[in-house]
Structures are given as C-alpha cells and as structure tokens.
Structure 1
C-alpha cells in the first residue's frame, strides 16, 4: 500500500464514529379499538358477571323459603325417627316382645269394641220389639257412661299401684303420665287416694304434695285401676316408661294384680248450664 492510500484510510477512520448503535425494534402497537367499545370479556368474567350480584325475584324468594321449611321439617322428622329407632335397637329382646304384645292387645281391644257395636246394631235391627230393645241398650249405655263419668261405683279385675315418694321428688306430671299410660292400656275406671279419675281430671303440684281436681293428696299415692291386668302392668313397665321414670326419682313403685278391684270414689253429676238434649 502506498503512502497516499494509507493517509486516505486513516482520514476515513477519524471521520467515522467508533460504534454505531442500532435502535431496538419497537413492538408493534396494538390495534386501536373502534370508538369506545370495551374489550371482549373472557368466559370466566362473563360467568362471574352473570352470577354476581345475584338477581332474586319475589317468586324465587318464596320458593326458596318454602323449600327451606320443607327441608327443615324433613330433617326434624328423620332425627325423631332415628331417636325412636335407636331406643328400640337398644332394647332387650324381652322388652321388644312385651311392646309387640301390648300393641297386639290394643288392636284386639279395638276389634272387640267394634264387634260389640255391630252386635248391638244387629240386635236392634232384628228384635221383634225394637222399642224394648232400644230401652235396654239405653239403660246399659247409661251405666257405662256413669262409670266413665265417675257417678257410679265399679268393680272388676285390675291392678293396685302404690307409689312411695320417699324423697318428695314425685311431681304432678309424673302421676299424669301414669294415668295416661293406664288409659292407653285400656283402663276403664280408676281412682287415686280416694279421688275418682275421669276424662276431665287435672293435676298440679301443691308443695310436697299433688292436687287432683283441687283435692290435695299426699304420698304414698295409691291407685285402684280396673282393666285387664295383663295389659295394664306391662304398659307401666315398658323401657323408659312410668316405673323407670319414678325409680330414677328414687320413688318405690309396687304393682299388684287382683281379680276384684272396687273403685267406689264418686263424683256428683254436674248439670250443664247451657246444653240441653236435642232429642224430641
């Protein structure tokens, strides 16, 4: 290379910059939206926007309340049935047999009552002297109603119950449970400590004693009950029944069967103030 060429090359190097920096490529700008139209929502955003805030109409609110009430009632019923089933599952075999026998006895009593009414109807229809037959049935019905109302004495097989309240913990509701259980088992007449028990009898607590229709009675409580002893006694001894409840209160319960029970406590027949017979 000649001196002239070297001189020219050095001049060009001095005139050129040392480094040429290339500008980075700018990302392409997003296309502008047409006017003020918002960007398209995603599927999840559309779902959230559709569910919230909730839009509930009056009809939907009423249906929801009704469904809630129905569900609550079903839950309570299922829980109640579960408790009953649990009690039966935990019972002994002899207790289950006793409960079944009691149900069979109640069914038989209802069937006997049905047959008795049908017999009275047939006798009245077939009697040659229907007037006399009607009078006979009326007298018999009056006697039966007198026993139920407590205006006449009664006797027959049944049981005697003695409840000795040693701790003073027996309350009126416990004696009422015993009366109701005896009625359900077929008791036809009963009295306690000389007070006749009838359909309208009420009991209340009176200090350490119990008031029966306003008559204060003290322990021990002695019941005389007329009915089928084979039905009355098991009804009181069912698991979780009257006897077990009283024994938990440290009361002593004694039940004695008898072929002859006399219920002689009477109530005066009360004349109604307003009701009159409609027969002419």
Structure 2
C-alpha cells in the first residue's frame, strides 16, 4: 500500500468535512419544513376561507336547481321564445295602430267626424270581444273527435288558452260563442260551455292570424299531441275566411253606470 503524503491527507479530511457539513444542512432544512408549524391565526384564516368557499358552492348549486327553466325541454324553450316574440309583435302593431289613429285625429280637417268613425270602430271591436256581434276574417278550424269520451272540460279550456295566447280574436265552439268570462264544466255524456251542453266532435272556429294559430296547436307537447295521447284526434285547417256567427245577448249591468252620466 502506497503511503499518502501530508497534502493528500489534508484534502481527504477537507472533503469529509464538506460532506458532513452538507448532510447536516439538508437535515436541518427538512427538520424546518416537517412537521409543518401552523400558527393559531393561520389556522383560523384557513377555516374561514374554507367555510366561505363551501357556502358559495352551496348557494350556486341551490340557485341552479331552482331555476324556472332548469330541465325544460328544448322544444318547450323554443315555444316560449316564439310566443314571446309573437306577443311582442302584436303589441308593437297595436302601438302603431294607435299612433296612426292619433295622427289622423290631429291632421283631419273634420276632427268630430273622424272621432265618430273611430268610436264606431271601437264599438264594433268591443262587440266582437263581447260576442254580441258576428265576425269574419282569416283563421283556422279545429275539429276534435273523441270516440272514447276521454276529452275533459279542462282540455278544452287549455285549448282556448293556447289560442288566445297565439292571438285569437274570436272563437266559437260548435254553436257557443267563447268570450272572456266563458266557463267549462262536465256533465253526464258531455261538456257544458256557459251552462250549454255540447258533444263531440268539438268544432272550433277561430279568427286570427293563421300563421300564429296553427303552430301554437301543433308544437311538440302541445294541444294536438296531448289529445292524441288521450286517444282523440285533432285536425287543424287554415282558411282565408272564417265566419263566427254565434251571438251572446248584450246584458245591461244591474248597478254599474257610466261615470260621465
């Protein structure tokens, strides 16, 4: 074995000392990081942040679950949007009509005569709504055949509501005029409308915009599909001229009088 020089022995001792120093520093670093030392204040802050995050998550989930349209079918959402668009359009048309009437009154050389004409027109419109005068115009017919007797009064009422929402202006079922206060009830062997018994087939004559009325009945999950599920059939037909001729008597109020008298 070759004897080591003094210089080599010094270098060996220095390397061993360096290794011992590095190992000791690494151990100190690990000892400082683990186990973690958390102060009481840090622990309280962490718990508060956790509670806040949990509360926000629960609130968002609760809000999402209670959304009015959550879980609605795509066809239902499309129908709702279409109905809103149709109603907005009808309101805009009514606004334009009223603006045109005002302009005619302001520009007419004979404002009294123009006012009289508009009063007569308004009277006619109110008579149509009240069912005291006949009406004609474009619209649709709806024929409901019910061989199983499964169609109930509330189904006819739902049909009326769908038609009104689509812009129906005058409605007649069989020989009964439908107005604002019309009611439906069930009796043995049929259905009563305003106390008058009618039987299937139920024939609807509806005046309004055919392009709005027919789709309102044929939408997925709408009147036609619902009736088919009840073993009834519903046939919708567009016509350029519908005549609603069933009338209701004009009833004079017992107590109400015009405030101008």
TM over 0.5: yes
SS in 2 for 1:117: helix
2:189, 2:67 → 1: CA distance? 34
Aligned residues, how many?
204
User: For the aligned residues, what is the CA RMSD?
Assistant: 2.5
Matched, 1:189 2:189: no
The runs of at least 4 consecutive aligned structure 1 residues that moved more than 3 Å come to 74-80, 95-103
SS in 1 for 2:103: helix
Q: What TM-score results when the alignment is normalised by the length of structure 1?
A: 0.67
Deviations along 1:165-215, one digit per CA (max 9) or x if unpaired, are 111110000000000110010000010010000001000111231100000
Q: Which runs of 5+ in 1 are unaligned?
A: 1-70
2:222, 2:168 → 1: CA distance? 17
Paired residues for 1:166-177 under 5 Å: 166-177=147-158
Deviations along 1:228-258, one digit per CA (max 9) or x if unpaired, are 1110011112222211221111111110110
Q: Which runs of 5+ in 2 are unaligned?
A: 1-57
**Residue of structure 1 in register with 2:117 after alignment:** 136
Matched, 1:79 2:60: no
SS in 1 for 2:240: strand
1:135, 1:78 → 2: CA distance? 56
Which of 202-211 and 126-135 deviates more?
126-135
Q: CA deviation at 1:87?
A: 2.6
Paired residues for 1:12-27 under 5 Å: none
Q: Give the counterpart of 2:73 among 63, 73, 88.
A: 88
**Residue of structure 2 in register with 1:240 after alignment:** 221
CA distance 1:133–1:271, change in 2 (3 Å): same
Q: Give the counterpart of 1:165 among 146, 150, 159.
A: 146
Paired residues for 1:268-279 under 5 Å: 268-279=249-260
Deviations along 1:70-104, one digit per CA (max 9) or x if unpaired, are x9xx96994352xx342334x4xxx8666544432
CA distance 1:128–1:165, change in 2 (3 Å): same
2:62, 2:88 → 1: CA distance? 31
